[in-house]
Amino acid sequence: GVPFVLVRDADKKGLRLRVTRAGGKHWQFETRIKSKLFTRALGEWPAVSIDDAQKEAHRLRGLTEQGIDPREVERQQQEAKATADTLQAAKAAQQAKARAAETLTVREVWDDYTEKRRPFWGDLHYQDHLIKAQTGGKPSLRRGESKKLTKPGPLAELMALPLKDLDQARIETWAAKEGQTRPTSARLAWRLLSVFLTWCAEQPEYATLLPAKNPAKTKRAREALGK
């Protein structure tokens, strides 16, 4: 026998219900676009009601009667959505990157700096950067002093700060404090810090976190550390 029967909707041109011998009822829309057959499955009854099927058939017929292929419209919509999703994802990634940059500590950037500049430095200069920024509390590496613990370097208190907070006022306060207790060591630390901040200003990922003028290079900081 016939595997299925098509029941056409007299009111909605192109809409039909495909009834199989097993009793399944499936909505279809069929028409021609520029002499080519276009068929679209609309779902199974009763999950898709006759009202919903008629509305979708009406929408499809409105497009096809204008010579518009619904598949092309849907393809364009999908492309537009994909583009919008890509832009949204890029914006979200940029915002996440900006938030991460906001929390970058001086220590994290200092470590990046020393690692990248190490090939261009002598060993003593590299060691100066480690010693001036050390947190302290570790066994001394000096001969005969292994039982002693290292003291925090002059720059230690600045290392935990977010880089964006390392401004002129903060550095001047630091210089005034360090200048009272260990001016010679602090002067070298200040020079290292100044060069570090100049380097940061030249890096796209860090430049936006700093003021235009190097915050370490101020008369007050220099005077606080003495000659």
Helix (H) / strand (E) containing 150: none
Residue type, 201: A
Token look-up 């003028």 returns 213
Token look-up 């050390």 returns 134
- In angstroms, the Cα distances linking 49 to 27, 45, 136, 182 are 9, 6, 75, 85
Q: Give me the mean pLDDT over the 93-99 stretch.
A: 76
How confident is the model at residue 33, as a pLDDT?
85
Q: Distance between CA atoms of 173 and 161, rounded to whole angstroms?
A: 14
Structure tokens at 39: 């068929």
Q: Distance between CA atoms of 153 and 173, rounded to whole angstroms?
A: 16
Q: Distance between CA atoms of 214 and 58, rounded to whole angstroms?
A: 68
Residue type, 41: A
Give tens-digit pLDDT for 50-71.
888 888 888 888 888 887 888 8
The answer on pLDDT for 157 being more than 90 is: yes
How confident is the model at residue 2, as a pLDDT?
44
pLDDT band of residue 1 (cuts 50, 70, 90) is very low
Q: Give me the mean pLDDT over the 161-167 stretch.
A: 93
The answer on pLDDT for 80 being more than 60 is: yes
pLDDT band of residue 227 (cuts 50, 70, 90) is confident
The percent of residues above 90 in pLDDT, for the chain, comes to 45
Cα angle 126-226-189, degrees, rounded to a multiple of 5: 15
